[in-house]
Each structure stands twice: as C-alpha cells, then as structure tokens.
Amino acid sequence: MKMADGVTMLRRNRPGTKAADFCRWPDQPFEEMESTLVVQQYIQQQICHDPMNVTQILTPPESQDEGVWKYEHLRQFCLELNGLAVRLQAECHPEACTQMTATEQWIFLCAAHKTPKECPAIDYTRHTLDGAACLLNSNKYFPSRVSIKDSSVAKLGSVCRRVYRIFSHAYFHHRAIFDEFENTTYLCRRFTSFVIKVGCADFTLNSSCFRPDRAIHGGSEMIPVKDNEDESCFLVTKHSPWRGKYKRIFSIGTAGVTTYNPTNMEITNRWPYSDFMGALPGPNANHGQVSLA
Amino acid sequence: MKVPDYYYLPGMEDNSSQNHNGQLDPSGGGNVSNKQNDDGSQRTQYSIPGILHFIQHEWAKFELERSQWEVERAELQARIAFLQGERKGQENVKSDLVRRIKMLEYALKQERAKFHKLKYGTELQQGDMKPPVFDDVVTDAKLEADAPFTSVSNISWRQGRQLLRQYLQEIGYADTILDVRSNRVRSLLGLNNNAECEENLNNSSPAVNGNESSNKRASETQGRRTPAKKTQPSSITEAMILDTEAAVMANFEFLSPDVDMDDDDDMSDDLDDQQDDETDDVKTAKRKNKVRPSVLCCQFGVLTLRIDFQCLMMNEGLADDVDAEAEEVLNELNLLTESEDAQNELRAPGGSPSMGFATSSRRPMGALGDDEGLDSSLGLGELAQLTVNNEAEAAYDQIASSKEAYRKMWNAKYTLRSHFDGVRALAFHPTEPVLITASEDHTLKLWNLQKTVPAKKSASLDVEPLYTFRSHTGPVLCLTMSGTGEQCYSGGLDGLIQCWNLPSPNIDPYDSFDPSVLTGSLVGHTDAVWGLSIHNQRMQLLSCGADGLVCLWSPQNKVPLLSTFSSPDDGQPTSVDFVHNETNQMVTAYNSSHCVIYDLETGKPVTRLETSQAENISQDKQINRVVTHPTLPLTVTAHEDRHIRFFDNVSGKMVHSMVAHLDAVTSLAIDPNGLYLLSGSHDCSIRLWNLDNKTCVQEITAHRKKFDESIYDVAFHPSKPYIASAGADALAKVFV
Ligand SMILES: [Zn+2]
Ligand SMILES: [Zn+2]
C-alpha cells in the first residue's frame, strides 16, 4: 500500500484509486475513530475485512449504544440492498412479477404510498428502499447518528420487516440472482443473523414478520420443505368476532395454515389450503391485517 | 460576662446578648438544659445560647432570603414594566405603519384618479376616496386637504412618539437601559464606526438578540431622539424630511453613540445619496412632487418606509442566519399587522437583508411613476406582490452589477439527506433549481429544491429526493449533466459510465419503474471511472479512469468511443476537463501532480503545466481536481498538499499558488461568469474565492468527516444563485 509509509496514514480514496484498492486501508481500531460516523466506519471496515464473518460484523464494540448499532447496521443493509435491486431491475419485470410475493400465499402491499398499493415486485423493492432511505435519513426521527431516541429505534422494526420481503422475493422468484448476490455479499445471512441477534424487538412482536428462529439456518429457512413444515411464521393478532383480539403465531406451511398459542406453543387451529377461498388484505393491510375466507 | 463570639449578626447584639447573659448560668437552665444533662455529654453543645443562636441565625437567614425575594420581586416587576413598555412600543410601531400604509393607499388612489381624469377627462369611480382616518387623530376628511392631511399625520406621529417617550420615562426605561442595550449590540457587532454600520446594511453579520427588540429599539430611539433634533421647519415638507432624517440619524447614533453629530449628518446624507443613486426616478419624482403635495405625501410615505426598512435592516441585517431571520421577521410582522395584509407584503422584502431594500422599494416607486404600471385594477396588494416576485431576480442583478456594495454572503438553505454513504459528486440542472447527487451507496438521486419537506424551527430546509438512479454496482464517483438538462452521465467504481435521461422534476417519487431512464452504458474503462467532463457544443464527453485511460466519447453515436489517451509515465489520471477557451483541447491531471493539456485531434500533449516545480512528487502532491476557466486561458488545480494553483494554458507557467485550505483540496468549481472560484476540502469547509485578487470571500464549514475524508465535490448552478457541496457524511447541501 502506497500510503502506508507516511508518518500519518490518511484513510482516503483519492481520485485515481483503483477499484481493488478502494477502502483497502489498514484497519483502524474503533477507539481511535473520532468522527461522528464511527459506527458506520467500524461496520464498513468489518465488512470490508471479511464479508463472510457475519458474527464478527454483528458484534458491537464494547459499550456501544444499541440503538445506534442497530440503526447503522440497517443503513448498511439498505445500502447494500441497492446491489440486489440493480440486479432485480434486469430480470424482475412488472409484467412477470405483478405483485410483491414471496411464497404465493401473501401479497405484500407497498407502504411507501399514502394508501398502500399493490405495487409490482420491482416497484415494491425500489419504493421500499427509497422509503427506507428517507426514513433512516429523516431529520425528524434520526437527527443524530450518535444517539437515537427510543421512539425512533422502534421505527427500525418496520424497515426490517419490509426489507426482508425483498430477500424473500428474490429467493423465491429470482433464485439465480439471489444466489449470485448472496455468495458475494452474504447479505441475507447477515441480515437474518442480525434480526435474531440484535433482536429488533419490534420485528418479533409485530404482526406478519418472519419468525426469526425459522430463519436461523442461513438462507435455508426459505427452502420449501415437504409435507407441512412451517415455512414462515408470523405473530399475529387475531380479530375474532367471538373472542375479540388475541395473539397467535400464524404459520404458513406447505400444506396449510397453522396457528399456535404463543404462550405454550400449542396448535390452536390448522387448516389445509384447500379449505381457503382466498386471502385478502384487510382494511389495514399495511399493518399486516389479512382476512382469511 | 461572656458573649459568645459567634454572635456577630448585625442588630442582634443588644437584646439577644442580654437574654443570653441570664441564661448562661447552667443552673438557671430550663427544660432544655435539663434534657441536655440527661442526654449525656455528647449533647452538651445544645446550650440555650446555642439554640438561641441557632434560631437567631435562622431568623437572620430568613430575613436575608426575604430581602432577596423582595429584590427579585422588584426585578420581576421591573421586567413586567419593561415588557409592557415593549408591547406598547410594538403597538406604536404597528399603528405608525398602518398609518403609513393608509397614506400610501390614499395617495395611490389620488394618483389614479388624477391619471384617469387626465386621460379620459372623467372622474374615476373608486371606492372611498377619503383620506385615511386614524383612531388617535381627528382628521378633517376633505379631499382637497392634502397639506393639512400631511401635517395632521405628521402631528400624529409626533404625538405617538411623545406618548412613547412619556411611557418610557414612566416605566423607567431610561436612557441608561437603552445605552446598555446599544452597548450590547455594539459589543456583539464589534464595531464602533459608521462605515461599518453602513456595511451592515449590505452584509449580514452575527445575530443580535431577537428582532422584536431590535425593531422596537429603532422606533424607541426615534421617539427619544427626534424632539431633541427638531428645528424650526420652513415648510411642512422640509419638516417631514428633517424628521425622517433625524430618525435615521437617531438610529445611527444609537449604534454608534461615540461619534458626534456631524458624522451622523454626513452619514445620513450619504445614505440619502445612496438611495437616490439607486432610485433616480424617486428623486426626480420627489422634486416634481414639491408642487404636488398629494403625491409627495405618498412619496414621502415610501421614503419613510424605506428608511424604516433600512433601520430594520440595520438591526436585522446583523443576523447570522438570513433565512431564519427573514422568516422570523415575517412572523413578527404578521403579529404586528394582523389585519394589514398589504402592509405585511410590502414590508416583506425589507425583512430579507440579503435582498436589498432599495430594489424592493424602488419597484413600487417605479410603478407609481409609471403610467403603464398604474393599471386601474392595481391595488396596493398587487403592488407589493410585484416587489416580492421580482425580489430574487433583482437581488441577483445586484450581485452582478455592484459586487462591491452587494457582496453576497452564502447561507446554507437546503440539506439533501437520503444517501446512505458519502456523496461523491453533484451536478446542477442548467436552468431549473434541480440537481443530481452521486453517492458511494451505488445510487444517484434527483432533487427538486422547490419540493421541500416542511421543517420546523431549523433554518435549513430538507429536500426529499424525487428519483433514485440505480444501475451502478458499486460506489458512483463522478457525474456530469448535459447543457440541455436532459441527460446526465455518471461514472462508477465498477468502471462503467451510465447514461441517464432525466425524469421530470415533477415526477412522483414513488412512481413505477421506468427502464428507459437508463439509456445505456459507455463501456471502455476497465477500472474505476474518476472523472467526467462534458462539452455541450461538441456533444462530447471526457472520462478518466484508474486504468490510466482518458476516453473521449460521443454518447449519441452508435460507436460512442472516439479515442483514448494514455500516458503511463504521468501516473493515474485523476481529473479531466475540456479547455473551454480553445476548441479542441483538454486538460488532464494526474496523481503524480502532473497536468497536461492535450490536443483532442492529434492526441498529442500541447502544454505541460509546470505543476511539479518543487520536484517532490509524492502522493501528497497529487492533483485531485482540475478545471479550466470558462473564457480565459487559465487552468486551476486542486492539490492534496492543500494548495490551489493557477496556470497559464499557453505558457504552462504557474500564475499563482496558494495554500487554500487546512487539508487536501478535493474539488473546484468556477462560476459561469468566471468571477469566482469555489473549493472544497477534507478540512470540512468550502471556500469561495475572488478570481481577480485570489482572496477568500467566504468560508463555510459544511460537512463532517468520515475516516479522513470530508468534502468530495462543489458546484455552482449554471444560471441561478445556488452553490452546493457534497460530503462524506452522506449529505449534500445547497447554499443560497
Ligand atoms: Zn420479481
Ligand atoms: Zn410502491
């Protein structure tokens, strides 16, 4: 490295730097970083170091504020997801993927609009990333990158949830792209671990989320399995005309839908798909309300 | 007899020591001392005198506190009185202004009627042709009573001032307080003489405490000073002018009491001269108007208003943040003149110091004198509107025309936040307030400065991006926009140059994906593309990459790559630009600090600029950016060693070299007229330079550091008064 010989080494990508040398400077210990963007610097440095070492990347430095740690990681996920979006633009045409789906059972509505819309998958992807960029850069919710209000940290959950659907769509509908992207970035694996490890509280408590423990085995959580294995689970609030609202884990399996009681994991109901007439997004579909008939 | 030596509290010696003497005898002790004895040795300090002392001590403490509270109460009462006085002052200012507006309206109507009569020979039928009636004044509402009317209103002003003065005296808002406040202002300003005062009319300086008070101070001072300055007027007109002059003087004196009155006189003369120079039509009109008192009344109204603007500006022009200030002024005016919309609008231009009051007041004056402007439907509201609409344009004219007097100070206005990583480059639309940013987060974003997010409090507005360009698979490093504003080109770490069609600046940010925005890629570089430059007449594009190549493209062609240049001895090219005053040349800068002008036809070097005189070629000296002057044979280079260097294109000689920043200079931009140079640096600041004398006109700290980088790019808007900076902190900022 050319610049390493100087008395003070400056970590810069000067004009003329070759792509291979971009950001290839010796690691700077976290304690020595001084700017207000230390956490981003640290995360990017770790990723640059070894994108495969997910554990290392997700381990916060000592006494790191948790909110900022989550926030900066989510920024980094959205940043890198641009790479997936670029690849999807080439293949995920609105004519083919008219709706944002992962496993055909759910249509995800795009929350970027005033009233959530059934955007085609590619628009969903772009709008979700654009919306996340606006939210995560919002001066209102995230005025500082050094400390973050608790109320704003809560916002991160919804971003996680939507971002995850982009991975899901790519996985189920554009597998080649997903694999190619995943093999260079390890992004989905990192994201899955992130959600489990950092435990976006929101992410597990809110409705219509991937249940994290199903997503543990790096990427494999989305592989369709035989018989009725639970494919994806959601903690939902059931609106029953008889019993009011109550929490259930809602699981979409390959052969049917199962609901569990979250307190004791007992199966409360199970319906084969043949029993359904359809699944319709409810009036508050952006909050994950779905009517099953 | 023993008096404990701790009884030194004032006023206690006499009776208290008396009491103690009696009780000092242990046997004579009452319950307390008995108890003490019972309790044993550890409590023996609880003697009667001790307790008494304690109580007395407490009492004294309470007394002290009580007196403190009393003082506090008195202070608060004074504060209340002060605030009430201020309120009264505000009300006076308000009614004064309302009165002036009414006068203006009335005079306008008169003029209109006269004009109509002259033109058509008939009386114009308009609403009420009565002169305005003021609450506190008994006005004879006769039409022919022009002169009496002016005198009456004049009297009413004086009455108002007198009242205010009386009130101030009543509440003890004495000269000392005023002096204290003016001292504070002066210390904030750090100025003591008139010249600087005048400069403050034109330039903005650090903020003084709230507008309200400064606004009020002006009027108060007027009230305070005027009677002293009054002389026997030979005519009412003169009296009025004198009065106004006195008010102006008073204001100047208020800012600089050390200076004697002669200076003040000169000062106000200068001021008047200046005004008159700027508004010739006003002056002629004014002379003419001595014959026509009704017009005079109106003219004078404008004049006083203008002077008031000046007073206001003098105080408010001190503000650090012009926009916030202007906004506050507007708000304040809203309060002041709740029902007086027209007045509010009329005064609005005066509230924005950078715009210059002269223009704003000239407009209505021009309209008054101008027959065409006197469309019969033209109300005062529209008149004022006219001013507001022309404001920005006029201000820019002034920058161009009189840069001495109106040296523009740039202030951060818009913050573009939506990128996830450093913003590497930005480019303005040639005509619209639209720009594109290119970021290390792999995207480019389109912004329309007219579509801002309503922000609370903050002086700078947030803009939300309209469109996100996605195609690069790595950081986007450079960007350039075509002269038509229809295409833009971006170069990335992925070695590609992407060609984009600009979506409409009014696009819905969440519109559906339109693949036709990306029109194609220019493939030729095998490594990161670091520099782009476009030539609008030739429709050609230059790029330079880390593969050592400089490529000339014609993006519209079937085979876009026209030619490539490489010069391995010079190192990696870092930046490239067309030579604008020559038809067929380009300049390329290298990380070896070399800088070479090539002929585009032959591909041969024309001039090697003498950049490496110190012969210390290291990375420290690398050139980060090279730009050429739009009209002169001048090349400017930004160096890693903190220097900006200027070269003559013909001789290759260095014309000037200067340490321009505290850290590496990363970016340069020359304004479209070739007068100013803008530079950005990793020292977090951007600097504006006068190209004539190479002096720094303004420095703005704009961005924060990420690792050892801060600012990547700066730009001038090609036709509008905007400048912008892009930083490693993922933000771009636009200054106005
Ligand atoms: Zn798709
Ligand atoms: Zn959408």
ipTM: 0.74
Which residues pair with residue B414 across a beta bridge? Answer: B461, B734
Burial class for B71, CB neighbours closer than 10 Å (0-12, 13-18, 19+)? exposed
B619: nearest CB among A2, A78, A85:
A2
Q: Rounded distance, CA B83 to CA B700, Å?
A: 37
Residue A180 in contact with partner chain B when CB distance is under 8 A:
no
Pairing of strands B461-470, B412-417: parallel
Burial class for B271, CB neighbours closer than 10 Å (0-12, 13-18, 19+)? buried
Give me the pLDDT at residue A128, please: 92
Test the A interface: residue of B417, B418, B419, B420 with most A CBs within 10 Å = B420
Q: What is the pLDDT of residues B617-630, one digit of tens each?
A: 555 778 999 999 99
* B574 — pLDDT class (breaks 50, 70, 90): very high
CB B400, CB B451: distance < 8 Å: no
Q: Which residues surround ligand 1, an ion (CB under 5 A)?
A: A 92, 97, 121, 173
Which residues pair with residue A252 across a beta bridge? Answer: A232, A257
The answer to whether the annotation marks A160 as part of a ligand binding site is no
Residue A96 in contact with partner chain B when CB distance is under 8 A:
no
* Domain over A33-203 is classified CATH 3.40.50.970: no
Q: Taking CB atoms and an 8 Å limit, are A35 and B591 in contact across chains?
A: no
- Chain B residues near residue A100 by CB distance under 8 angstroms: none
* B258 — pLDDT class (breaks 50, 70, 90): very low
Q: What is the pLDDT of residues B445-490, one digit of tens each?
A: 999 998 877 665 556 778 889 999 999 999 999 999 999 989 999 9
How much of chain B, in percent, has pLDDT values that exceed 70?
Answer: 54
Distance from CA of residue A214 to its chain's centroid?
A: 14
Q: What is the pLDDT of residues B98-124, one digit of tens each?
A: 988 888 888 888 888 888 888 777 665
Distance from CA of residue B450 to its chain's centroid?
A: 18
* A30 — pLDDT class (breaks 50, 70, 90): confident
Amino acid at A241: P
Mean pLDDT of A241-259: 47
Q: What is the pLDDT of residues B138-197, one digit of tens each?
A: 334 333 334 444 444 566 677 777 777 766 665 555 454 555 555 555 555 544 444 333
Q: Rounded distance, CA A259 to CA A265, Å?
A: 9
Q: What is the pLDDT of residues B73-98, one digit of tens each?
A: 988 998 898 899 889 888 988 988 89
Contacts of B659 (CB under 8 A, 6+ apart): B642, B643
| Portions of chain A given CATH number 1.20.140.30 | 33-203
Contacts of B127 (CB under 8 A, 6+ apart): B109
Q: Taking CB atoms and an 8 Å limit, are B640 and A19 in contact across chains?
A: no
Residue B4 to residues B8, B222, B261, Cα–Cα distance (Å): 9, 63, 65
CB B672, CB B687: distance < 8 Å: no
Mean of per-residue pLDDT scores for chain A: 72
Q: What is the pLDDT of residues A163-181, one digit of tens each?
A: 888 998 998 899 999 999 9
Element housing B453 (H / E): strand B443-453
CB B316, CB B351: distance < 8 Å: yes
The answer to whether the annotation marks A174 as part of a ligand binding site is yes
Q: Does residue B725 carry a pLDDT above 60? A: yes
- Please give the order of strands across the beta sheet that includes B634-639: B623-628, B634-639, B643-648, B654-659
Residue A176 in contact with partner chain B when CB distance is under 8 A:
no
Residue A41 in contact with partner chain B when CB distance is under 8 A:
yes
* B579 — pLDDT class (breaks 50, 70, 90): very high
* One-character DSSP codes across B194-238: HHHHHHHHHS--SPPS-HHHHHHHHHHHHHHHHHHH----SSHHH
List the 614-643 stretch of B: residues with Cβ below 8 A of A: 619, 622, 624-625, 640
**Ligand 2 center–CA B209 separation, angstroms:** 47
Q: What is the pLDDT of residues B274-318, one digit of tens each?
A: 444 443 443 433 444 343 444 334 344 344 444 444 444 444 433
CB B634, CB B649: distance < 8 Å: yes
Give me the pLDDT at residue B699, please: 92
Residue B122 in contact with partner chain A when CB distance is under 8 A:
no
Give me the pLDDT at residue B119, please: 77
Query: Torsions phi, psi of B619, nearest 5?
Result: -65, -25
Give me the pLDDT at residue A132, please: 92
Residue B397 in contact with partner chain A when CB distance is under 8 A:
no
Give me the pLDDT at residue B191, please: 46
Give me the pLDDT at residue B222, please: 43
Q: Which residue of B has its CA nearest to A128?
A: B510
Q: Does residue B540 carry a pLDDT above 80? A: yes
Specify the long-range contacts of residues B243-247, CB closer than 8 Å, at least 24 apart. B243/B154, B243/B157, B243/B158, B244/B300, B244/B303, B244/B304, B244/B307, B245/B272, B246/B222, B247/B222, B247/B304, B247/B307, B247/B311
Which residues pair with residue B669 across a beta bridge? Answer: B678
- How many CB pairs below 8 A link A and B? 141
Q: Taking CB atoms and an 8 Å limit, are A139 and B455 in contact across chains?
A: yes
Q: Does residue B26 carry a pLDDT above 70? A: no
Q: What share of chain B is helix, strand, coil (3-state, %, to 5)?
A: 40, 25, 35
Q: Does residue A7 carry a pLDDT above 80? A: no
Most confidently modeled range among A9-23, B31-45, B422-436: B422-436
Q: What is the dihedral of CA B608, B611, B612, B614, to 10 degrees?
A: 140
Query: Hey, is A114 helix, strand or coil?
Result: coil
CB B309, CB B350: distance < 8 Å: yes
B708: nearest CB among A10, A78, A139:
A10
Query: Hey, is A265 helix, strand or coil?
Result: coil
Q: Does residue B576 carry a pLDDT above 80? A: yes
